[in-house]
């Protein structure tokens, strides 16, 4: 059910009825992915990731009638999620309990994982988003450009800068 054809069917059913069960089908098809992306972008802060996913669905449901299938539904949803996250980050709307509640959030158990989490957290939001979307989620620069509303060349240069910065920081961490 969870492919482009299945997505067309799910969206058509939801738009026809606006029904709770039709929405649940959409939610279940895409939320595991959105959750993973939100957790990565929010650096493992669960409460903040929850709020971002909630906001993403509220916004997506409003915009869904105008969705023209210029991309996969999942890519479109990811773009909305990234924008929700960016807006929260810019306006300082980060969850108040983020640091306290989620301080052990990454919970990486191996040394490399801990170093990588710290290095990722030290990157700017702009660099981290591109890095995660390309290396972790497998999007192309064109897709990332659409989601982040930047030129594809900017996505490419940010990726280069992010990887280099990360590697430098990991190198420093490894040297300690």
Partner 1 sequence: MSGGQGFEPDEEPPVPFDDLPQPGLPPDGLQARVLERLLREDLVVGRRTRRWLWPAAAGLVGIVLGGSLRPAPPPGPTPQGPLFMLVFAGGPQSGDGLKQSILATRTWARTTAAGRIVGGQRLLPDGRVLEGTSVEREAPRPRSDDFTPTGFFIVRAHDLADAAALARSNPHLGLGGTLTVRPVDDLRWVRDGE
Q: Residue numbers of the site for partner 1 (CB under 8 A)? A: 17-21, 23-24, 27-28, 31-32, 34-36, 39-40, 44, 46, 49-50, 53-54, 57-58, 61-62, 75, 106-110, 112-113, 116-117, 120, 131, 134-141, 143, 156, 160, 163-164, 166-167
Cα gap 157→109, rounded to integer Å: 32
Tokens of 51: 């709020």
Q: Please state the closest distance from residue 82 (CB atom) to partner 1, in A.
A: 15
CB 63 within 8 A of CB 80: yes
Checking phi first, is residue 43 left (phi over 0); if not, alpha (psi -120 to 50) or beta? left
Query: Given the complex with partner 1, which of 54 and 149 has the nearer CB atom?
Result: 54
Q: Least distance from C-beta 41 to partner 1, angstroms?
A: 10
Q: How far is the CB of 160 from partner 1 (least distance, A)?
A: 6
CA distance linking residue 120 with residue 41, whole number of Å: 10
Of the candidates 158, 74, 159, 172, which has an alpha carbon nearest to the alpha carbon of residue 119?
172
Written as six digits, the tokens of 91 are 């306006």
Residue whose CB is less far from partner 1, 17 or 103: 17
How far are the Cα atoms of 66, 73, 92, 93, 154 from residue 36, in angstroms, in the given order? 26, 16, 22, 20, 25
Pick 96 or 142: Cβ nearer partner 1: 142
In the bound state with partner 1, the residue whose beta carbon lies nearer, of 53 and 148, is 53
| Closest distance of CB 158 from partner 1, Å | 12
The distance of closest approach from Cβ of residue 91 to partner 1 in the complex, given in angstroms and rounded to an integer, is: 19
Nearer Cβ to partner 1 (9/32): 32
The answer to whether residues 27 and 90 touch, using CB atoms and an 8 Å cutoff, is no
* Residue given tokens 């306290």 in the structure block: 100
């Amino acid at each position: 059910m969870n492919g482009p054809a299945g997505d067309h069917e799910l969206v058509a059913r939801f738009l026809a009825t606006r029904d709770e069960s039709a929405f649940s089908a959409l939610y279940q098809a895409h939320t595991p992915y959105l959750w993973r992306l939100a957790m990565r972008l929010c650096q493992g802060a669960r409460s903040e990731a929850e709020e971002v996913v909630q906001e993403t669905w509220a916004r997506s449901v409003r915009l869904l009638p105008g969705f023209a299938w210029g991309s996969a539904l999942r890519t479109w949803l990811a773009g909305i999620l990234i924008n929700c996250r960016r807006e929260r980050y810019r306006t300082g709307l980060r969850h108040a309990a983020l640091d306290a509640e989620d301080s052990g959030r990454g919970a990486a158990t191996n040394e490399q994982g801990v170093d990588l989490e710290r290095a990722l957290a030290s990157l700017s939001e702009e660099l981290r988003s591109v890095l995660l979307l390309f290396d972790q989620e497998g999007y192309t620069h064109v897709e990332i450009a659409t989601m982040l509303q930047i030129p594809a060349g900017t996505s490419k240069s940010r990726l280069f800068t992010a990887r280099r910065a990360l590697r430098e920081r990991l190198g420093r961490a490894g040297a300690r």
